[in-house]
Structure 1
């Protein structure tokens, strides 16, 4: 172990040994520059090829090589992000207008447009217009997060519990009546969408990758509100909506809400499936080929007699 960490240019920061149970703890620190890599007598493990993307994180085969540290000051990872709360609404420094954003605009303009869009949607619709009592919402999942704009527009960090660092609480900031509400938020980036998870993290938000044609690992947590923005119509190219909706039914708590924004055809299909699951349709609006649905999972579950009759 010692020879390997030395060849990887790791520096031992601290080493302790417990004399009672004879366990040891060692803390290592990675180098802050590439100087050590060029001074190694034996380049093992080797440095990765320059074409290998160090930021690729989904379904990537592990390689026995190390990535050199970026030297370009505009590259991701060379600088600290903006301080909170500026980082929430500021485009990451490594985004530039030479890149194309998710919606086709230059990246920084795309980011700003997404921020403005969700500000309008949340203020003018979600907080008061869809019949949701936000005092009863404790945790939310954005099933297609893109830049995390929906999350960012209704939340700002409130508290980071020491004993549970992966759980982040937020406070709603656009409605005075909700300003003290704590909400746990999960931003999900579908695996067949552009990789925007680094931007979500850079904003100080929390998220993960997932393939919605597969089951979602929710243990031990379920959700009060799921938000699907133009997700389900894209899934229909790879899997059927019925099992996806059944998975949504499993994830949601009883009396939990699902907000769906999608094309009119998909919205009608989702409504039909929701009614078959005995969900309540709280709101449905269609405009210019687009549909907005607010659905509530009810307390209904089939009885033994109903299940036997159906089979």
Structure 2
């Protein structure tokens, strides 16, 4: 399957994976009987993306994505090239698979490594918040706003988070994930949703240690 659509499936995984992240595939075709050809194609495709094979243990293989752009000659052997600068690698809706490699973020654009440990990261803006106009101030205001609102909801409305009545919550206008951060100590699961018409703030939500969709 990894060579289907000219390798676009694995290229799509590359688009979503952070620089320095790990790709783990467990099961077929990794060292699978009668799938030697597919296993060879998967390894060749991973090599063309400049992934470093860390280990193969039984039917599980682990690769590491490079932290910087490299080995374009290898990519060109497979007919690959860098995507246009007009392409947004974070685009999600109605995005057609393309046979090109998304540009690796510059070091100063990568928030990983500069994020506070849990739970401090919940209340401190990551580097990516500063990419938005007045992002840090907006982050702090949104965080404080939701701390006050959640306190009011619990006190005045008797909201019982984590009970059989309220265990799963979907925030349909999550912005920076302030609501989810405010209820992080409660036994409740929150899915943050950033509307497609709004600025894409999922990166900041992820940096807080929260989950979300766009």
Regarding TM over 0.5, the answer is yes
Match of 1:128 in 2: 155
Match for 1:191 among 193, 196, 199?
Answer: 196
Could you say which structure has the higher helix fraction?
2
**Would the aligned equivalents of 1:88 and 1:152 in 2 still touch at CA under 8 Å?**
yes
1:95 aligns to 2:136 (yes or no): no
Match for 1:119 among 140, 147, 158?
Answer: 147
Q: Deviations over 1:54-101 (max 9, x none)?
A: 222333211111123222x321356452211121111111232x732x
Match of 2:135 in 1: 107
Structure 1 residues 113, 206: closer, same or farther in 2, change over 3 A?
same
1:47 aligns to 2:82 (yes or no): yes
Paired residue total: 171
1:76 aligns to 2:105 (yes or no): no
Could you say which structure has the higher strand fraction?
1
Residues 102-181 of structure 1: pairs in structure 2 closer than 5 A: 106-123=134-151, 125-134=152-161, 136=163, 137-155=166-184, 171-172=185-186
Structure 1 runs, 4 residues or longer, greater than 4 Å off: 38-41
SS in structure 2 at match of 1:141: strand
> Post-superposition shift, 1:131?
2.8
> Post-superposition shift, 1:115?
1.0
Structure number with higher relative contact order (C-alpha < 8 Å, ≥ 6 residues apart): 2
**Would the aligned equivalents of 1:70 and 1:78 in 2 still touch at CA under 8 Å?**
no
Q: Which runs of 5+ in 2 are unaligned?
A: 1-40
Q: Which runs of 5+ in 1 are unaligned?
A: 18-23, 101-105, 156-170, 173-181, 210-311
SS in structure 1 at match of 2:155: coil
Compute the RMSD of aligned alpha carbons. 2.4
Q: Distance in 1 between matches of 2:188 and 2:135?
A: 29
1:202 aligns to 2:200 (yes or no): no
Structure 1 residues 6, 127: closer, same or farther in 2, change over 3 A?
same
Q: Deviations over 1:197-245 (max 9, x none)?
A: 2211111112223xxxxxxxxxxxxxxxxxxxxxxxxxxxxxxxxxxxx
Structure 1 residues 25, 39: closer, same or farther in 2, change over 3 A?
closer
**Would the aligned equivalents of 2:161 and 2:188 in 1 still touch at CA under 8 Å?**
no
TM-score w.r.t. length of structure 1? 0.49
